[in-house]
Structure 1
């Protein structure tokens, strides 16, 4: 049951598509980063944003 919940969340959040796009950016431009906000307290040097950057 837990695996099914995780799978559904990955689909809802489009995790596969995000990783595919980042791997394309890495291939085309030499750098593809995916920053994920996991809800932790902001630390020094961390922007805390959940966004794709290239």
Structure 2
């Protein structure tokens, strides 16, 4: 996520230390928790004929 165009960093972020230095510890923790929860709570949207990506 830190390498997405949203942040616009000039070089690729490859280490946790660099992520924390660029984004800050609180924001890095927030992103980590958010991504973990999203991966744990995959919802089956097939009955609605839609995918998670389209939702």
TM (normalized to structure 1)? Answer: 0.33
TM (normalized to structure 2)? Answer: 0.33
Structure with the largest fraction of strand: 1
**1 or 2 for the larger relative contact order (CA 8 Å, sep ≥6)?**
1
Which one has a bigger Cα radius of gyration? 2
